[in-house]
């Protein structure tokens, strides 16, 4: 097992199921120790490929935890970390999608449809901080 295989497994499982595999699932899949999986995940996190807090929290554009950005595509529901990532999910899946979220200011529900790679919906996308600062604290950005 190498880091590329771990990364591929995380994305394969996430894209099929909507959430990243647990460390225990990767241990069973690869037939290695939890320490070996954890070391690989840490190297991937250091390289900003994944965000890891004992388990995979983010495999951008996917979130392992519930967020206000829900993407439905191909019969699977995914959580995204932000609207940017929500738009990235149909791009990485190469499928149409419906994104459900709400206005960060007033809470009004919003829906964006992505069809043939084009986003359709009303509203404005707003980023509270510049992209260059996202990794200063990527979990809470």
Identify the three-state secondary structure at position 73: strand
- Please give the model's pTM, rounded to 2 decimal places: 0.84
CA distance 124 to 84: 12
Residue 89 has pLDDT above 70, yes or no: yes
Residue 139 has pLDDT above 70, yes or no: no
**Any residues with CB less than 8 A from the CB of 17 and at least 6 apart, and which?**
76
Domains recognised in the chain with CATH numbers: 3-59 (1.10.10), 69-136 (3.15.10.60)
How much of the chain, in percent, has pLDDT values that exceed 70?
96
Residue 137 has pLDDT above 70, yes or no: no
Beta-strand relationship, 97-102 and 69-73: antiparallel
How much of the chain, in percent, has pLDDT values that exceed 90?
75
List pLDDT tens digits, range 25-74.
999 999 999 999 999 999 999 999 999 999 999 998 999 999 999 999 99
> Quick one: average pLDDT of 84-108?
92
């Amino acid at each position: 097992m190498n880091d590329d295989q771990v990364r591929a497994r995380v994305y394969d499982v996430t894209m099929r199921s909507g959430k990243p595999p647990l460390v225990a699932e990767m241990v069973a899949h690869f037939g290695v120790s939890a320490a070996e999986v954890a070391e690989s995940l840490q190297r991937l996190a250091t390289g900003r490929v994944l965000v890891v807090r004992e388990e995979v929290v983010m495999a951008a554009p996917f979130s392992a935890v519930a967020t206000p950005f829900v993407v439905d595509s191909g019969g699977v529901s995914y959580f995204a970390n932000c609207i940017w990532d929500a738009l990235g999910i149909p791009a990485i899946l190469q499928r149409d999608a419906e994104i459900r979220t709400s206005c960060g200011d007033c809470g009004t529900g919003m829906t964006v449809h992505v069809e043939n790679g084009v986003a359709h919906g009303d509203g404005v996308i707003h980023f509270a901080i510049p992209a260059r600062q996202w990794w200063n604290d990527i979990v809470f950005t």
